[in-house]
Chains A and B, each alone.
Chain A
């Protein structure tokens, strides 16, 4: 699969990374190299091999459905970032964590 400079810019946009023309060019070369490695791996015949989903050959253990957590809101929110308005005020309000307004 061949990448072009438009793909690089689109990927950078999706990752929210601001890159210059020069950086885009350099990234294109690097990513094309990585894709080359992947193509090499894909050329291996894997017919009949069950895809591995974990490096250890074990199965998941299950937890009993019992409440073990206690309310540690105060402790966790003492660790919240500051509001960022110059004050030392934590970005919490009425128990909510505050973040810059996001509307999809």
Chain B
């Protein structure tokens, strides 16, 4: 390992988020994933002569939502441009994108970088340079027919919002924290389904290194099309090390586009940018300038959900949750909504948070969850969890018994009725003090040695007697009452 301490890595991200619309950005063809090849490639997607693009209002609305969510300037006027390049999955010979005047200008995202070893967790502001609307290209399939490439234009024209950051990140951890935050945000505001396997959220990462303490940026290489956070971390770490070693060995970094190979964990140059494409951007004469008025912004603002930061602060102040719990509950909107619903149905906030972040999250994350139940659709609805927690709150069942009921509900043992499960399993807590006194009298009579020990000053004997009493009640006695009554009897 070289002297990494002498170097600083500088990272910027470009993220393509596929917008949640029904149709393409410039035509009424469906963008449903997984259709038979070219069955969603209409005359605009295939660029037949004489067709014209007509802009999808929903795509514009998604972009405005994003701009509002990152507190960005949204200029009154933006312009679509043609980005010219030649490739068979781009039948027009140009991609309609935005260049000088994007729909979303400067904004910012606050990231939480998790603690790592000796380094504590911290927050950092990542500046967004811009976000612009553009169309996706089609897909090329190589090797289907010998010597040929097969072109599927279903994806051509799918609406994308490309979100570009300033080179503000200084480690792989920061880049991943940003990507995760952005991934969470676009789903939260409902503009992207976030499905990385299907390519709805793809990141290009620009990486360069420079000697620590210097200002001038080094030559960057761009890692293309990362579709998992794990790969992003590995790719950046490998690339950073490779650049440092190359420079320390007296070499030079050539600007290039590189691909990450998950099997080897290495990045490899795909094409050098020496013969870089000149995209010959110019305003697309087929599209008029896009106007976003103050009224448009106000209309979209009215449809915006409460953002994660605001909700987190509210969970802390309104429900007295810890910063950690509030942050964990607001990592996804589904989890936050579930929590709010549970509390609305009468559960106390702190136990609700514990159960959601503990037992329920564990159930959802385990490999045994083969049906991929999600928080929004699992056998234990927020209403059911609240009903269960209320039974703990009113001392009807113990926390341990609640876990058994939870398990039973998860597998759908007695669907939909907490009390019926408590009844069927005989879990109801014994809170009748007469009955508990009876049990304790029996325990005291059966264990004279323990009573002697306690009287001789051994505190441990008290806990042993509690254990005996709980056992005698088959775990059903209310522990607080057992404690109280036992104390009274021993003092007598």
A→B interface (CB under 8 Å): 13-14, 16, 51, 53-56, 58-69, 71-73, 76-77, 91, 93-104
Chain A neighbourhood of B42, CB < 8 A: 69, 72
B87 & A102 in contact (Cβ 8 Å cutoff)? yes
14 CB < 8 A contacts A-B: A54-B288, A54-B289, A61-B55, A62-B60, A69-B23, A72-B42, A73-B39, A76-B38, A91-B148, A94-B37, A95-B37, A97-B150, A99-B149, A102-B149
Q: Does B151 contact A (CB under 8 A)?
A: yes
Give the residue among A55, A61, A65 with the most B Cβ atoms within 10 A.
Answer: A65
**Chain A residue at minimal CB-CB distance from B152:** A96
A7–B77 Cα distance when bound, in Å, is 37
**Listed stretches B139-147, B213-221, B243-251, B329-337; interface member:** B139-147
Chain A neighbourhood of B58, CB < 8 A: 65
Q: Does B469 contact A (CB under 8 A)?
A: no
Q: Does B50 contact A (CB under 8 A)?
A: no
Residues A95 and B28 in contact in the complex (CB < 8 Å), given A53-B79, A62-B57, A101-B142: no
Main secondary structure of the interface of B (DSSP, over half): loop
A53 & B289 in contact (Cβ 8 Å cutoff)? yes
**Chain B residue at minimal CB-CB distance from A54:** B288
Bits for B55-88, please: 1 = Cβ < 8 Å to A, else 0.
1111110000000000000000101000000111
Min CB–CB distance A100 → chain B (angstroms): 7
B148 & A100 in contact (Cβ 8 Å cutoff)? yes
A65–B55 Cα distance when bound, in Å, is 9
**Chain A residue at minimal CB-CB distance from B151:** A97
Q: Does B432 contact A (CB under 8 A)?
A: no
Chain A neighbourhood of B37, CB < 8 A: 94-96
**Listed stretches B186-194, B270-278, B435-443; interface member:** B270-278
Min CB–CB distance B62 → chain A (angstroms): 10
Residues A59 and B148 in contact in the complex (CB < 8 Å), given A67-B30, A95-B39, A104-B271: no
B38 & A77 in contact (Cβ 8 Å cutoff)? yes
Count the A-B residue pairs with Cβ separation under 8 angstroms: how many? 132
Give the residue among B55, B86, B151 with the most A Cβ atoms within 10 A.
Answer: B151
A62–B101 Cα distance when bound, in Å, is 18
A94–B28 Cα distance when bound, in Å, is 24
A53–B75 Cα distance when bound, in Å, is 15
Chain A neighbourhood of B140, CB < 8 A: 102
A97 & B153 in contact (Cβ 8 Å cutoff)? yes
A60 & B145 in contact (Cβ 8 Å cutoff)? no
Q: Does B15 contact A (CB under 8 A)?
A: no
B291 & A54 in contact (Cβ 8 Å cutoff)? no
A58–B22 Cα distance when bound, in Å, is 27
Min CB–CB distance A21 → chain B (angstroms): 21
A99–B140 Cα distance when bound, in Å, is 10
Residues A60 and B150 in contact in the complex (CB < 8 Å), given A72-B42, A73-B39, A95-B37: no
A63–B41 Cα distance when bound, in Å, is 18
A77–B39 Cα distance when bound, in Å, is 11
B275 & A76 in contact (Cβ 8 Å cutoff)? no
B21 & A65 in contact (Cβ 8 Å cutoff)? yes
Residues A65 and B39 in contact in the complex (CB < 8 Å), given A14-B275, A59-B289: no
B288 & A98 in contact (Cβ 8 Å cutoff)? no
Chain A neighbourhood of B289, CB < 8 A: 53-54, 59-60
Q: Does B97 contact A (CB under 8 A)?
A: no
A67 & B22 in contact (Cβ 8 Å cutoff)? yes
Chain B neighbourhood of A73, CB < 8 A: 36, 38-39, 41
Give the residue among B27, B43, B144, B145 with the most A Cβ atoms within 10 A.
Answer: B145
A55–B287 Cα distance when bound, in Å, is 11
Chain B neighbourhood of A54, CB < 8 A: 79, 283, 285, 287-289
Chain A neighbourhood of B287, CB < 8 A: 54, 60
B28 & A68 in contact (Cβ 8 Å cutoff)? yes
Residues A60 and B291 in contact in the complex (CB < 8 Å), given A67-B28, A99-B151, A101-B142: yes
Other than the given A60-B55, A67-B28, 6 more pairs (CB < 8 A) read: A56-B288, A60-B291, A68-B23, A77-B38, A98-B149, A102-B87
